[in-house]
């Protein structure tokens, strides 16, 4: 019965009748077969409706962190989405008219590490009578670590789930609790009657943090069915949490879990070894949580190179079930879905060793044979800038930094990190074009300076930096001999100290590992295609189009899937740091994007949900 239901949902997704999960399907494809909108008529797209969420009211100090990153889902004629402050909305898909709203009533006065929610999930109780309350459920993970079940028809809590319709996710996770640092920011994964939940952990403050335990919950009762910890119990660390989207292969009873780095990010002297299964994709049995296989993309991470994007499930060369992992380093690993063995060759190569006392960096790192999605080296002589002064500033800055390749370990001498912790590929992840066999994804190309600060001098340097208005980030890394400071390398003329494009969208042939095309994505300068850093992913359609926002210039764009040529764009009322989705309602295809900006990224904030359709 489970397999039949999974196949039915898959067919509905491909037909465009449903968009039942964050990425359309449970395997992270961001794909719809709809083709009413195509390359020939995309220029006729206009705004069909706009909905205002009022999410930034009442104002609080957390507004400066707020990011509207949600992708709506469409199930049974209703759009469901969540806001940064954990309000759930049900909208009419053809008009944007609100059907109901639920407010999780989080404490806006608490200092949260992250202020975002990327969406909600849907579950159908196939055992329940057709008109039973909560037969259809909307699941929400919250900033204050609750899992809430709502009736999809009216937004009321499902009383039989947990206590009063919610489960406290802070219970039973181990580690040391830091309120506001243990959260849920991505939608839960639904695997049959199991809800699989990861966590978002502010992992750079301490050695001892909450454990990144992944858990399976009974979708009817909220009872814990299983738990899996990515780190061995004896390791002196926490985190390694799955904060991005988890993929599901319901037919094979598997979930694919992307994990982040162990705590803290930039000094690993207290967490000896390769730190498996941090920085990995791990296959677990969905029904039991049993470990099946794991593949680690970075050993003993010292660069904050989390697996930030959802694992992409696809069929390799027409016959082999596969999973593709797109990484912050710009590499793509293509693995057998059943065994975790590489389908495209992977080589362990020697990398620089750390000069820092007490740090035992790993001697090798895995390198994929697939073409790179983003550059992994930066030379001062290749830097461009709008002014001679800006170019000299950037060149002098890059030359002053320690650099022995992408995996140069941090030290007291400032090191260059490129690509930086924002990617490469960030949480938006790739889309999949099954007709062309393409992985399509946007990447960032932002260099960072990273410096370890001896514990005895950390407080003084942070105080001095505040006086001098430095724009970087200080992290205490308590429990280690070092704090950390990092900042992006920017030019005085407003550019980035790297060759453009600073953001791009690329297509990779998954069968061969060869890049098919690449185009600049967005711009930071009027009339110049510099590319823009961004957050959010693509939507791929059967009309031969790739829709994407993500950039800092507040536009939604469409690209030709065959060539990468930009064929349409439209200005949004606020920045679109979210992945778009599409569906058909009343015979008309719509493309919908959350446009609310990103406080930490510094983009234009707002509270808009915008739908486009052909005029």
Is 304 an active-site residue?
A: yes
DSSP state of 344: S
pLDDT at residue number 181 = 85
pLDDT over 60 (residue 134): yes
208 vs 217 pLDDT, higher one: 217
- Give the pLDDT of residue 3: 54
Q: What are phi and psi of 163, to 5 degrees?
A: -110, 110
List of residues 6+ apart from 440 with CB closer than 8 A: 430, 431, 432, 433, 505, 506, 507, 508, 538, 540, 546, 561
Q: Collect all residues with Cβ–Cβ distance below 8 Å to 194 and sequence separation of at least 6.
A: 216, 217, 218, 219, 225, 286, 287
122, 24, 535, 514: CA torsion to nearest 10: 150
pLDDT tier, 1 (very low <50, low <70, confident <90, very high otherwise): very low
**Mean pLDDT over the full length of the chain:** 95
Give the least confident one: 31-35, 69-73, 491-495, 600-604: 491-495
**Is pLDDT at 16 greater than 60 in this prediction?**
no
pLDDT digit string (tens) for 82-98? 999 999 999 999 999 99
Position 14 confidence tier, pLDDT thresholds 50, 70, 90: very low
For the segment 549-559, the average pLDDT, to the nearest whole number, is 97
Mean local confidence (pLDDT), 309-328: 98
pLDDT recorded at residue 561: 98
Residue spans of beta strands (DSSP E) within 267-345:
280-285, 291-296, 312-316, 320-326, 332-336
pTM (2 d.p.): 0.96
Q: For residues 66 and 115, what is the distance between their CA atoms, to the nearest angstrom?
A: 5
> By the 8 A CB rule, do 116 and 200 touch?
no
What does each C-alpha distance from 2 to 15, 130, 216, 256, 595 come to in angstroms?
Answer: 20, 18, 17, 18, 36
Per-residue pLDDT at 318 exceeds 80: yes
Percent of the chain at pLDDT > 90 equals 91
CB atoms within 10 A of CB 334: 25
Please give the average per-residue pLDDT across 152-180, as a whole number.
86
> What is the spatial distance between Cα 107 and Cα 568, in angstroms, rounded to a whole number?
41
Calpha distance 115→109 (Å, rounded)? 12
- Higher-pLDDT residue of 344, 494: 344
- Res 369 pLDDT > 90: yes
Percentage of the residues of the chain whose pLDDT score is greater than 70: 96
Domain extent listing, the chain: 2-614
Q: In this model, does residue 81 exceed pLDDT 60?
A: yes
Q: Which CATH number fits domain 2-614: 1.10.1060.10, 2.140.10.10, 2.30.42.10, 3.90.1150.10?
A: 2.140.10.10
Angle 228-229-230 from CA coordinates, rounded to 5°: 115
| Annotated catalytic residue within 304, 306, 433, 607 | 304
**How high is the pLDDT of residue 174?**
62
Per-residue pLDDT band at 468 (split at 50, 70, 90): low
At 385 the pLDDT is: 86
Give the per-residue pLDDT at 406: 96
What φ, ψ does residue 320 adopt, rounded to 5°? -105, 120
d(CA 608, CA 86): 15
More confident residue, 7 or 359: 359
Average of per-residue pLDDT across 530-540: 97
> Is the pLDDT score of 530 beyond 90?
yes
Q: How many residues does the chain have?
A: 615
- Coil, strand, or helix at residue 35? coil
pLDDT at residue 275 is higher than 50: yes
Q: Long-range contacts: 41-46, Cβ < 8 Å, 24+?
A: 41/614, 42/543, 42/545, 42/558, 42/567, 42/568, 43/567, 43/568, 44/614, 44/615, 45/558, 45/568, 45/570, 45/591, 45/612, 45/613, 45/614, 45/615, 46/612, 46/613, 46/614, 46/615
* Residue 179 reports pLDDT greater than 90: no
d(CA 534, CA 539): 15
Q: What pLDDT is stored for residue 178 in this prediction?
A: 58
């Amino acid at each position: 019965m489970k397999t039949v239901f999974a196949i039915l949902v898959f067919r509905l997704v491909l037909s465009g009748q449903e968009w039942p999960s964050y990425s359309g399907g449970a395997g992270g494809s961001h794909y719809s077969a709809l083709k009413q909108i195509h390359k020939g008529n995309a220029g006729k797209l206009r705004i069909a409706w706009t909905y205002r969420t009022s999410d930034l009211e009442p104002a609080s100090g957390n507004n400066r962190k707020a990011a509207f990153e949600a992708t709506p889902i469409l199930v049974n004629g209703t759009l469901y989405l969540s806001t940064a402050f954990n309000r759930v909305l049900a909208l009419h898909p053809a008009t944007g008219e609100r059907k109901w709203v639920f407010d999780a009533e989080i404490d806006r006065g608490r200092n949260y590490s992250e202020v975002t929610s990327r969406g909600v999930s849907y579950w159908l109780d196939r055992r329940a009578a057709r008109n039973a309350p909560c037969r259809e459920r909307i699941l929400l993970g919250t900033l204050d670590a609750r899992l809430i079940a709502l009736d999809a028809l009216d937004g009321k809590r499902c009383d039989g789930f947990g206590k009063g319709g919610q489960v406290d996710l802070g219970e039973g996770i181990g580690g040391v609790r830091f309120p506001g640092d243990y959260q849920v920011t991505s939608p839960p994964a639904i695997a049959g009657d199991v809800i699989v939940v990861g966590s978002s952990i502010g992992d750079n403050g301490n050695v001892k943090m909450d454990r990144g335990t992944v858990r399976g919950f009974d979708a009817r009762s909220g009872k814990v069915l299983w738990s899996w910890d990515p780190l061995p119990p004896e390791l002196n660390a926490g985190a390694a949490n799955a904060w991005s989207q988890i993929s599901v292969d319901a037919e094979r009873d598997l979930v694919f879990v992307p994990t982040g780095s162990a705590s803290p990010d930039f000094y690993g002297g207290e967490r000896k070894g390769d730190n498996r299964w941090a920085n990995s994709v791990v296959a677990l049995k969905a029904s039991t949580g049993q470990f099946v296989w794991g593949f680690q993309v970075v050993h003993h991470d010292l660069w904050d190179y989390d697996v930030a994007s959802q694992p992409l499930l696809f069929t390799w060369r027409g016959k082999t079930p596969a999973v593709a992992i797109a990484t912050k380093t710009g590499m793509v690993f293509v693995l057998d879905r059943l065994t975790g063995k590489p389908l495209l060759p992977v080589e362990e190569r020697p990398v620089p060793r750390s000069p820092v006392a007490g740090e035992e960096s790993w001697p090798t790192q895995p390198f994929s044979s697939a073409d790179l999605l983003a550059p992994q080296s930066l030379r001062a002589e290749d830097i461009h800038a709008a002014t001679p002064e800006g170019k000299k500033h950037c060149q002098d800055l890059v030359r002053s930094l320690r650099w022995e390749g992408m995996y140069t370990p941090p030290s007291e001498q400032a090191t260059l990190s490129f690509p930086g912790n924002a990617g490469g590929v960030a949480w938006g992840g790739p889309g999949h074009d099954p007709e062309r066999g393409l992985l399509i994804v946007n990447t960032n190309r932002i260099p960072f300076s990273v410096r370890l600060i001896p514990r005895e001098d950390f407080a003084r340097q942070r105080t001095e930096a505040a006086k001098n208005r430095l724009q970087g980030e200080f992290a205490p890394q308590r429990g280690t001999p070092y704090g950390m400071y990092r900042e992006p390398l920017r030019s005085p003329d407003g550019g980035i100290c790297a060759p453009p494009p600073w953001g791009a969208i690329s297509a990779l042939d998954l069968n061969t590992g060869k890049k098919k095309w690449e185009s600049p994505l967005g711009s930071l300068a009027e009339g110049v295609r510099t590319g823009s850093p961004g957050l959010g992913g693509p939507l791929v359609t059967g009309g031969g189009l790739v829709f994407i926002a993500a950039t800092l210039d507040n536009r939604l764009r469409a690209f030709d899937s065959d060539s990468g040529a930009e064929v349409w764009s439209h200005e949004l009322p606020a920045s679109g740091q979210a992945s778009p989705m599409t569906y058909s309602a009343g015979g008309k295809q719509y493309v919908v994007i959350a446009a609310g900006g990103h406080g930490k990224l510094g983009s234009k904030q707002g509270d808009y949900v915008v739908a486009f359709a052909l005029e």
